[in-house]
Amino acid sequence: MVTENTIEQYLQDLNIPYERLDDRLWRTGFRGDVKDIDVQIRLADSVLIVISPFINAPRKNRAGIYKRLLELNMDIMLTKFVIDSEGDVYLMTEVLAETLGVEQFEQAVMNVTSLHDKYYGQIVALMYSPLEEDTEGDDLELED
């Protein structure tokens, strides 16, 4: 059974500096190729959640950006782009915590950070693309 102590031991074993924010919540960070990457690790009842803020809600080309993120979700294994209620984008992975070993823990954290590095520039470029401009408050419409 994975506990809070197990997560802290994994972080220490992997030489990952961290700050404990709550009983089951930790924050760490990594220096990426383009920017620093903030990562939060949460131990829920049956899953470990690794999540990283990716971009703030896009103001321009919103539909194009969200479309590209959905396309990437189709190709990426385990880690997914997710959007909160305000439109901010995160990278997130969830793994079963019951039998989580240090290798799976490391893979979850590294997947989030490496994908952040891999796709950040591409998505930011879409934010400044002249292809399409959304006005704040526009909603994406689903096709029938």
Q: Is the pLDDT of residue 134 over 50?
A: no
Residue 121 CA: distances (Å) to CA of 32, 54, 132: 11, 11, 18
The domain segmentation of the chain, as residue ranges, is 4-128
pLDDT the model gives residue 106 = 97
What's residue 136's pLDDT? Answer: 52
Percent of the chain with pLDDT over 70: 90
Q: Is the pLDDT of residue 68 over 90?
A: yes
Q: Give 4-128's CATH code, choosing from 3.50.50.60, 3.40.50.150, 3.40.50.1370, 3.30.1460.10.
A: 3.30.1460.10
